[in-house]
């Protein structure tokens, strides 16, 4: 069964290749979307090529809703977006994928039922399809090569939905080790400061205090793990032992 998470339905209008439907399912599920609707697939339904390409997201295909027209696929929705790269002479708001999915998230939070339509691979949606939409999603692609594959467009829109609807961690330490505490970094700084002081590094004397502050600042800028700290302690201990042996 579909997840209970509020989300838009993605409507594939007359898709032509089963592989693209399967790849679209993968793209949706990568970002937590599982409401797929399909109208009049050219090669029939179910489609084994779609299943093979879905690879892990086959549940979306099993639960996809099949319709015989665009109007039927969106008739229960309160707001519909149409993804298209070409101006069609229809006066509608035109949004980037980012703005559209942010708007969709707000609408869904208010209880609206939202759909995003994606046209067939060969020529995209017809004006009759786009006329059913309330707004257009236009991807800011290279104007000299503006055609997006169906699955690519679904993936891009799915990603923007995730950005708009979930708490995203934009920067983190990708490490299994625990991050070093301030106390551990302080002990490392003291170790190096003591060894460097013995070696006569802090010279001349009137600049020593400032040099020590700069060194402490260097340690504080480094996102050290506990493993990093142990290695750096070991490096300095070995250097001191080597000097003493000499």
Least confident of 40-44, 111-115, 133-137, 169-173: 169-173
C-alpha closest to that of 59 among 8, 3, 115: 3
Q: What is the pTM of this model?
A: 0.73
pLDDT at 1: 46
Q: Using CA atoms, how far apart are residues 108 and 27, in angstroms rounded to an integer?
A: 21
Q: How many residues does the chain have?
A: 246
Residue 115 has a pLDDT of 98
Give dist(CA 237, CA 240) in Å, integer.
5
User: Could you tell me the CA-to-CA distances from 109 to 6, 36, 104, 119, 124 in Å, in that order?
Assistant: 8, 20, 8, 26, 30
How would you classify residue 65: left for phi > 0, otherwise alpha for psi between -120 and 50, otherwise beta?
A: beta
Distance, CA of 144 to CA of 62 (rounded, Å): 38
User: Alpha-carbon distance 157 to 102, whole Å?
Assistant: 11
Of 77, 110, 106, residue with least CA distance to 95: 106
Q: What is the pLDDT of residues 168-220, one digit of tens each?
A: 666 666 556 688 899 999 999 999 999 998 888 988 989 989 998 998 899 88
146, pLDDT greater than 80:
no
- Tokens 């519909």 correspond to what residue? 80
Most confident of 19-23, 53-57, 170-174, 216-220: 19-23
| pLDDT of 3 over the 90 cut | no
pLDDT value for 86: 65
13 touches 39 (CB < 8 A): yes
Nearest to 106 by CA among 66, 57, 165: 165
Strands (E), the chain: 9-13, 36-39, 65-67, 79-83, 94-95, 114-118, 135-137
């Amino acid at each position: 069964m579909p997840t209970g998470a509020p989300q838009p339905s993605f409507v594939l209008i007359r898709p032509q290749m089963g592989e693209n439907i399967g790849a679209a399912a993968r793209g949706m599920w990568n970002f937590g979307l599982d409401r797929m609707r399909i109208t009049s697939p050219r090669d029939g339904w179910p489609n084994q090529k779609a299943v093979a390409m879905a690879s892990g997201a086959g549940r979306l295909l099993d639960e996809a809703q099949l319709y015989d027209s665009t109007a039927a696929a969106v008739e229960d929705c309160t707001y519909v977006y149409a993804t298209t790269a070409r101006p069609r002479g229809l006066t509608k708001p035109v949004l980037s994928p980012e703005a559209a999915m942010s708007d969709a998230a707000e609408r869904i939070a208010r209880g609206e039922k939202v759909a995003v339509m994606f046209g067939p691979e060969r020529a995209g949606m017809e004006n009759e399809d786009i006329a059913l939409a309330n707004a257009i999603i236009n991807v800011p692609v290279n104007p000299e090569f503006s055609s997006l594959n169906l699955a690519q467009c679904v993936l891009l829109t799915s990603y923007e939905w995730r950005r708009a609807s979930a708490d995203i961690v934009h920067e983190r330490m990708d490490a299994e080790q625990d991050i070093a505490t301030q106390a551990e970094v302080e002990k490392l700084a003291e170790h190096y400061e003591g060894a460097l002081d013995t070696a006569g590094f802090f010279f001349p004397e009137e600049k020593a205090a400032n040099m020590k502050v700069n060194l402490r600042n260097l340690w504080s800028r480094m996102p050290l793990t506990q493993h990093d700290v142990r290695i750096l302690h070991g490096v300095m201990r070995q250097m001191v032992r080597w000097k003493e042996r000499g």
